[in-house]
């Protein structure tokens, strides 16, 4: 009987095929975003889509650092900046649920340094004067940017994370408010930071410890922090900005924060904009909100608290629609961040979108990348309202 000379070749071919990964088409989301990367209008992004109970898609495109060609990964860490605001506001509402705080209470009830705070205005001759406001600023107003507090105080320099929360809030109380409470909208880090200080006074815990114990750890937000670890820093997406010619990108730094980012001695938690996080972590917070304050069988907020957070709090006469720590309107709520991050919760479609980038501006049409992501996500996953 002659030996089968073909058998070794067939066996070798079979072994080779066993290790060949099947070729799959790029997802519509990645396909929509890749042209922006190729034109150097977008450095890189992590784009996540979720329903109230599961992640539907997560895509990483481009580079975490375009200069070093470090690829973007789905577990990349981002400075989410003002996306910290709704997360802080949710923590404050836990105290409202527990009866420790009332939204209509004056802030001075809990922070006596605000007693007697004046309003900066002008007299009939246009000369600057100080007078007592119609009412002291309230908890509701500091959470909705209608208190008259400034964006920040003069002592929060050169970065916004250089003061302990107690000292930062004390500096806000020393200065007059800029308009009658609840008469205007003016975006205010100081307001959200003041609300966060109430957590410390009412619980006896530091703000950051409360956030870890009541939100981040229970929700499984394992990468959400004010101080990235050495390991997390290896996953940190670099900030990018347009180059001088406006035809490409270059890396930059986060000017609002002190470096090194893992240094606790000189960096303090900034409730209005200091958090770092991942797409997966942000999605968990969003799922809790979309589920009316509950996730995986654990309740974090009452349905009433969620409604307060996500309903318009700004006066109807104003163009700005803002809840408590959340931008809101048209059946959606969410928030963006300084480096163009965003999260959006569409209650009519039951759809969450998380968009994480690190861009201090875009060259070309890079600013349209987020819209391309949302359009692709809705075409694939959105149910009709």
The pLDDT of residue 121 is 93
Band of residue 3 on the pLDDT scale cut at 50, 70, 90: very low
The model's pLDDT over 231-285, given as tens digits with 9 standing for 90+, comes to: 999 999 999 999 999 999 999 999 999 999 999 999 999 999 999 999 999 999 9
The pLDDT of residue 343 is 98
Residue 107 DSSP label:
G
Nearest CA-CA partner of 139 in 96, 115, 176, 107: 107
Helix (H, G, I), strand (E, B) or coil at 103: coil
Q: Rounded to the nearest 10 degrees, how much is the dihedral formed by the CA atoms of 30, 372, 326, 222?
A: 10
Listing DSSP states for 175-195 in one string gives: S-BSS-TTS-----HHHHHHH
Q: Which two tokens stand for residue 59?
A: 């895509």
pLDDT, the chain, mean? 93
Mean pLDDT of the region 306-320: 97
In terms of C-beta density within 10 A (0-12 exposed, 13-18 middle, 19 or more buried), how is residue 133 classed? buried
CA R_g for the chain: 24
Nearest CA-CA partner of 225 in 277, 266, 265, 271: 277
Cα–Cα distance list, 286 to 40, 244, 273, 342, 344 (Å): 30, 37, 17, 11, 8
pTM over 0.85: yes
Q: Could you give all domains of the chain from N- to C-terminal order, each with its CATH number?
A: 28-87+206-381 (3.40.710.10), 102-203 (1.20.58)
The pLDDT of residue 384 is 55
The Cα 159–Cα 164 span in angstroms is 12
Distance of CA 42 to the CA centre of its chain: 19
The Cα 279–Cα 235 span in angstroms is 12
For 332, phi then psi, to 5°, come to: -130, 160
For 154, phi then psi, to 5°, come to: -65, -25
Q: Which two tokens stand for residue 54?
A: 């599961």
* pLDDT over 70 (residue 209): yes
Band of residue 321 on the pLDDT scale cut at 50, 70, 90: very high
The Cα 102–Cα 211 span in angstroms is 20
The pLDDT of residue 125 is 85
In terms of C-beta density within 10 A (0-12 exposed, 13-18 middle, 19 or more buried), how is residue 97 classed? middle
* pLDDT over 60 (residue 20): no
The model's pLDDT over 110-156, given as tens digits with 9 standing for 90+, comes to: 999 999 999 999 888 889 999 999 999 999 999 999 999 999 999 99
Mean pLDDT of the region 173-197: 98
The Cα 356–Cα 336 span in angstroms is 10
* pLDDT over 50 (residue 12): no
The Cα 99–Cα 53 span in angstroms is 29
Helix (H, G, I), strand (E, B) or coil at 95: helix
Is the alpha carbon torsion for 366, 367, 373, 378 positive or negative?
negative
């Amino acid at each position: 009987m002659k030996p089968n000379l073909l058998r070794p070749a067939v066996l070798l071919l079979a072994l080779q095929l066993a290790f060949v990964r099947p070729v799959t088409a790029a997802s519509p989301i990645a396909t929509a975003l890749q042209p922006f990367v190729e034109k150097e209008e977008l450095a890189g992004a992590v784009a996540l889509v979720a329903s109230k109970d599961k992640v539907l898609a997560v895509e990483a495109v481009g580079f975490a650092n375009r200069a070093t060609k470090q690829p973007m990964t789905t577990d990349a860490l981002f400075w989410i900046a003002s996306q910290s605001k709704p997360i802080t506001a949710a923590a404050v509402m836990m105290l409202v649920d527990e009866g420790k705080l009332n939204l209509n209470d004056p802030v001075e009830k809990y922070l006596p340094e605000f007693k007697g705070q004046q309003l900066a205005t002008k007299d009939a001759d246009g000369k600057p004067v100080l007078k007592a406001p119609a009412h002291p600023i309230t908890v509701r107003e500091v959470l909705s940017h209608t208190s008259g507090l400034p964006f920040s105080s003069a002592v929060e320099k050169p970065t916004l994370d250089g003061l302990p929360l107690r000292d930062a809030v004390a500096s806000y109380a020393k200065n007059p408010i800029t308009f009658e409470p609840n008469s205007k909208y003016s975006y205010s880090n100081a307001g959200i930071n003041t609300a966060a200080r109430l957590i410390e006074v009412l619980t006896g815990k530091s703000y950051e410890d409360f956030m870890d114990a009541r939100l981040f750890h229970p929700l499984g937000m394992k990468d959400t922090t004010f101080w990235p670890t050495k390991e997390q820093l290896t996953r940190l997406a670099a900030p990018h900005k347009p180059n001088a010619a406006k035809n490409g990108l270059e890396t930059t730094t986060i000017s609002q924060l002190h470096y090194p980012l893992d240094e606790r001695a000189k960096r303090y938690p900034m409730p209005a904009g200091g958090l770092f996080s991942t797409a997966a972590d942000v999605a968990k917070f969003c799922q809790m909100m979309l589920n009316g304050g509950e996730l995986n069988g654990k309740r974090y907020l009452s349905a009433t608290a969620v409604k307060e957070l996500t309903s318009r709090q700004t006066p109807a006469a104003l163009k700005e629609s803002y809840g408590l720590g959340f931008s809101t309107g048209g059946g959606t709520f969410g928030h963006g961040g300084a480096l163009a991050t965003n999260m959006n919760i569409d209650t009519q479609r039951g759809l969450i979108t998380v968009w994480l980038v690190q861009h201090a501006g875009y060259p070309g049409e890079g600013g349209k990348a987020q819209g391309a992501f949302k359009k692709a996500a809705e075409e694939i996953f959105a149910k009709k309202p």
